Amino acid sequence: MKKKLFILLLSIITTAAHAEFSTRAKSAFLIDYDSGTELVAKNADTLMPPSSMIKLMTLAVLFDEIKSGNLTMDDRLTVSENADYENPLWYPASKICLVAGQTISVRDAILGLIVLSGGDASVVVAEKLAGSESAFTELMQKRARELGMTQSTFGNASGLPNPNNLMTSRELAILAQHIISDYPDIYPLFATKRFEFNDYQSDWCKDWGRTHTMNYNKLLFIMPGADGLKTGHTDDGGYGMVASAKVGGRRLIGVINGFNGKSHDALAAEMKKLLEYGYSNTINNTFYNPGDKIAKIPVWYGRQPEVIATVEKPFVITVPKSDGLKGIRVLARYNDPALAPIKQGDKLGEIIAQKDGQVIARAPLVAQTTVKKTQLFGRVFKNIRVILGID
């Protein structure tokens, strides 16, 4: 069995760099959703307090329960004393404004978390799924590691100041990618601009609710195509935002943290600048779509002599607009022959895009069809042909 390498596209013209993005935020990160290409990275791997952006992890754990069928949007969650609006913890914090003993639907808890940044709702969710908020942080940590978030740590589910609440901008982007791709039926809720909770149990909360209905994510109001995700703010950590927008069929994900602006409006303006930088300076090229024949690989001991290698999702490369495909080399790597049995979708190798010797995109090559293994007699016959030098 040999490892084969095929050059699918080669251009050797020298490339030119585009202008760097500048921001006053302590950390910024921008990626293309389809290609995964990193467009901006400023202190992207520095651990920082995520403030309310941590609620994306709380929501991801909750979404897993919904996706698995353990919860529905209409199920009711009980509010404990820990989430009661009279708990001093919630006096200065963002909240839905809940009263101990009442119940809220899963849907309202989600919208409360997304739109109102309800820390009280995060406690309700945590206690439902793990019995306590401290136990829930262990679920958050476990899920983060499964997603490849190797640095993030969690001290609570709300993002209130805690020394264990630490995340990087890169890992917040990983989390955003996961939410967008793995929960397509739920993700549209992140574009909700206004949420009016209709089940307040106290007069004080009713007054609170009259003036707390608009999403803190002001990007939704100023940038066409913006559809998520979450903002955060603490006095010590400044403003932060995980955002996504889809413009002209192309999605970008941006993260800003440690921004010393004056308001969520200023934060949204800075995020808009970051996203527009990506759209203005870079462009996507789709090289292969699922079903395209990238390689025809011989199969050892297969009932069919070969299998077609394709991709499971579009293989997209993001490049500077000024460069186009200059300096790009696309390669396919795989074992020749492949060994039967092979199931449809099995990984056979990988496709790689390089620019100036650096890998800028990669994706698995997968089998387009299933190839079953030959019976014993067929394998013996194959071996005899090899010995005789026929194959």
Q: Which residues are catalytic?
A: 52, 55, 117
DSSP H helices, the chain, are: 55-67, 106-114, 119-130, 133-146, 169-182, 203-211, 219-222, 264-281, 376-387
Three-class secondary structure of residue 277 per DSSP = helix
Distance CA 113, CA 380 (A): 63
- In angstroms, rounded to a whole number, what is the distance separating the alpha carbons of residues 6 and 161? 52
Task: Give the C-alpha separation, 143 to 160, whole Å.
Answer: 20
Q: How many of the other CB atoms lie within 10 Å of CB of 104? A: 24
Which residues are annotated as part of the binding site? 230
Query: Chain centroid to CA 76: how far?
Result: 28
Q: What is the 3-state secondary structure (H, E, C) of 48-112?
A: ECCHHHHHHHHHHHHHHHHHCCCCCCCCEEECCHHHECCCHHHCCCCCCCECCCCEEEHHHHHHH
**Phi and psi (nearest 5°) for 190?**
-70, -15
Place of tokens 């390089």: 354
Q: Which two tokens stand for residue 235?
A: 């006095």
Q: Are 80 and 128 in contact (CB under 8 A)?
A: no
- Residue stretches of the annotated binding site for substrate: 230
| Three-state secondary-structure class, residue 328 | strand
| Angstrom distance (rounded) from CA 169 to CA 32 | 14
In angstroms, rounded to a whole number, what is the distance separating the alpha carbons of residues 105 and 189? 15
The 238-247 sheet, strands edge to edge: 38-42, 27-32, 250-259, 238-247, 226-234
